[in-house]
Structure 1
Amino acid sequence: MKLPPEPKTPSWLLSLQFKADPFGYMDAISKRYGDIVTLMFGSTPTIYVSNPSGIKEIFTNTKEITASGELNRDDALMTGKQGVLQLDGIRHKHRRKLLMPAFHGARMQTQGQRICDLTHKVMQQQAIGKPFIGYPTMEDITLRVSIEVVMGLPEGERYNRLKQLLSLSLKQMLSPLLIIAKKLPFGGRDLGRWSPAGYLLYLRQELFDLLYTEVQERRKQTDTSRTDILSELVLASDEAGNPLTDEEVRDLLISPLFAAQDASSTALAWSLYWVHRLPHVRSRLLQELDSLGENPDPMSIFTLPYLSAVCNEVLRIYPTQLFTFPRLVESPVQVMGYELNPGTILIGNIYSTHQREDLYPTPKEFQPERFLEKQFSPYEFLPFGGGSRVCIGGTFALFEMKLVLATILSHYELELVSQRPERPKYIDLICYPASGVKMIVRGLRQHQAQSQPSVIGLV
């Protein structure tokens, strides 16, 4: 087997370098070893690819290279053993098909006005002249949206408890104390609710119990007119024609809830940062939004070219997901000229692909215009991964991102508290803004009528 180049640095030191500065580390690795590199974890070679042609080979070769759910088993602690991340083959395809309609087409469009209304509801809680943190504010919005889309719950006690459990669970998963504890001999064990791991397990059980109860109750009061994911799953059948079990339905709900909360709120926080750090970007966006008139239709907002370009550039420069889900070589295969043996792990490096200068000149600069000038392939721009493991809710996430950002910009005058660059912080596959993006509301914004034909897209 001929493997791609491999750093001579010991794996433990590479791990420390990555944790200290993941982006500097990946930039240095790409510069020195190119767009395909081998890292050894024990006796298993793991190959990271940031070449679009190589990524295409990985995504499209489903015979020798599989997207094994077993490789995502570490996520099962919080997502359950029967979520889409852990399933394979026919079961995986079937469950994805069950979840897809809620995140696409007409079903997605019906959520547009509700997303705008929820954004207003949360933003109206921010006092004028008083600083707030962008990330938790965006998390509040995306949590509300995800609970309504996935669960169809009305506001009330159970809605609030679910919202609280999802937020607390995510905070605990990202807790520095838990991350440190896991490195200690017994730190990852359940030592009671007051230990880091024990508290996460407590939250997990509370979340699982709440979802399980809701599944059981919804099954008793089935309503074929409802369009939320839970209501559809309790009526759905598996690939053999049998009803899904309550446990299966519960596990299928968890990943969409967490993904909608975590990745979407992170992308929105970065959006607020870049738009308000670069006045020319904000000015052009407002000009485009104002061209729609007052109270525009959500689908008109969704199709705005410069808004789309801004959101794409946000997801390019600091993608919320830095790597694709891993793939497993099942039988001898050639990737980018290298002969790989069974057992080799393949991972698409999304961040490094998005930093390629041949695709994105001056990649460290925030330039939305690049997405107006060129159409990128799904192997060149892949913020939601690709192939059989592409994020089910990717289209909906962009839809939500555009509507939330447009609603905030159109109605609120915001500014950054500090002009110091926002530092990216990488935790558990997600790239967060380190300070959370500190902002302040300066006042309400009045719609600016267009006095002349819009020149958006021509400037």
Structure 2
Amino acid sequence: MAALPGSKAPFWRRAPKLILRPLDYFEDNYRRYGSVFQVGASSPPSIYVADPVVIQGIFQADAAQFHVPAQNVGSGLTFLLGNQSLLLLDGERHRRHRRLLMPPFHGDRMRAYGDVICTLTQQAMADWHPGQAFNLRAAMQDITLRVILKAVFGLADGDRYDRLRQLLSQLLEGLGTPLSAFFIFFPGLQRDLGPMSPWGRFVRIKAEIDALIYAEIDDRRRHPHPDSTDILSLMISARDDQGQPLSDGELHDELMTLLVAGHETTASALTWALYWVHWLPEVGDRAHQELDRLGPDPDPLAMASQPYLTALCQETLRIYPVAPTTGIRIVSEPMTVAGYEFPTGAVLFLNIYLVHHREDLYPEPDNFRPERFLERQYSAAEFLPFGGGHRSCIGMAFALMEMKLVLATVLRQWDLALPERDRRLLKPVRRGLTLAAPGHLQLVPTARRVVPPQAAFA
């Protein structure tokens, strides 16, 4: 195979820009080398892909064509998720876990969570007061953590719930700085130098979280709740083709995956959505008009099915996707896709951000315009905020529904405004492996909203 174009600089030279200025890193390479390019001089190569035709071929290929690396950025996540997380499994183990985890995310189950999401959002907003600015990211993290603890564990109060909320918030804040990304990309830095050191604090917080999760698993096994609809109860009762359940260790790692990935990523997306709604008045006006037409007490599913609200969430996930690339795929045997030859061992990064900013797919891609999703449909290789193929995000339906219902509940109940300092175009910053809005972003409640009855819109 002829070498693909790309930078031959070693990783240690590329890493600072990738970590601290990731969008510049991706865009610079795209402008120089095109939509499929190699980074570094290693053999087998590391390759970024931003061509939808190539991505479609990868998504449609047999799962056996790829595997996840044993030691990579993904395994750098083992300290957080455990080595039995769905994100880090491969082959038959990955297929088994995916089959066991699918039932809780079935459409019927999702509908049961609608009222819960709206209620928990309202409870979190009880602390908002007119004229008192609040940190937007912290507020969205509070809501999504309440939702995930209720949906995953069935917990909404009690000592264990309170402690998990506190510890998970501390854990994720500790991993939420650009500096923390160096611990992920360079696992050799993960050294416990005592309780006051950055990694030492993380290790101790994580150990306490683990103990709480294992205690909850033990309680559920000893005192099952057959009628419970929370995800943990459904996971404990699930059996594979041989009639075997998930072990305590497997349950722990999947629960950590759901808690971290399901909470953190949705909070980031909601932060961006509320920023765009209040930075672009025409977006907020149209969203309010659509939601107000539903009257004062709409069904959650009616809210979640509103077309402009859906388009608003899709455009939020397009312009600044929380994860800039999909999970790593390593080619298991030589393959050719759309004229590109990928050798055994090639490391593929499907670049979500670059695909979402292609001019041929999204004219004026740097402009936030939800209408584009009402004007055309995009294929799974053109709009891929949750990845795709056999490794697509298992919680995609839940995340989208939660995002729409939280956003709708907030917009229907409060008029909010951006402080003067944040009335400008903001760019994402590195937050661990993900991208997020700047942490200082605030909103100011100006007044509670009163939604008129549906008859007013007749």
Instruction: Give matches, 1:4-403, under 5 Å.
Output: 4-9=4-9, 11-40=11-40, 42-62=42-62, 65-68=65-68, 70=70, 71=72, 72-175=74-177, 178-179=180-181, 187-403=189-405
Aligned mate of 2:436, from 432, 437, 440: 432
Aligned CA distance change for structure 1 residues 183 and 453 (closer, same or farther; 3 Å): closer
State which drifts further: 71-80 or 186-195: 186-195
Contact 1:91 1:239 in 2 (8 A): no
Distance in 2 (alpha carbons) for counterparts of 1:193 and 1:230: 31
Contact 1:2 1:340 in 2 (8 A): no
Q: Secondary structure of 1:422's match?
A: coil
**AA paired with 1:367?**
R
Q: Secondary structure of 2:102's match?
A: helix
Distance in 2 (alpha carbons) for counterparts of 1:78 and 1:202: 12
Q: Deviations over 1:254-304 (max 9, x none)?
A: 101111210000000000100000111111111100111111000111110
Gaps in structure 1 of 5+ consecutive residues: 455-459
**AA paired with 1:374?**
R
Q: Secondary structure of 1:339's match?
A: strand
Distance in 2 (alpha carbons) for counterparts of 1:377 and 1:176: 32
**TM-score normalised to the size of structure 2?**
0.94
Aligned CA distance change for structure 1 residues 114 and 69 (closer, same or farther; 3 Å): farther
Q: Deviations over 1:166-195 (max 9, x none)?
A: 111111122455456789998521112111
Aligned CA distance change for structure 1 residues 436 and 406 (closer, same or farther; 3 Å): farther
Aligned CA distance change for structure 1 residues 92 and 179 (closer, same or farther; 3 Å): closer
Alpha-carbon distance, 1:76 to partner: 1.1
**TM-score normalised to the size of structure 1?**
0.94
Contact 1:3 1:338 in 2 (8 A): no
Aligned CA distance change for structure 1 residues 424 and 108 (closer, same or farther; 3 Å): same
Alpha-carbon distance, 1:100 to partner: 2.1
Distance in 2 (alpha carbons) for counterparts of 1:147 and 1:118: 11
State which drifts further: 362-371 or 90-99: 90-99
State the identity as a percent: 42
Number of matched pairs: 454
Aligned CA distance change for structure 1 residues 162 and 368 (closer, same or farther; 3 Å): same
Contact 2:150 2:230 in 1 (8 A): yes
Distance in 1 (alpha carbons) for counterparts of 2:174 and 2:407: 27
Question: In the alignment, which residue of structure 1 is the partner of 2:449?
Answer: 445
Q: Deviations over 1:108-128 (max 9, x none)?
A: 111111111111111120121
Contact 1:150 1:253 in 2 (8 A): yes
Question: In the alignment, which residue of structure 2 is the partner of 1:457?
Answer: none
Distance in 1 (alpha carbons) for counterparts of 2:82 and 2:11: 30
CA RMSD of aligned residues (A): 2.1
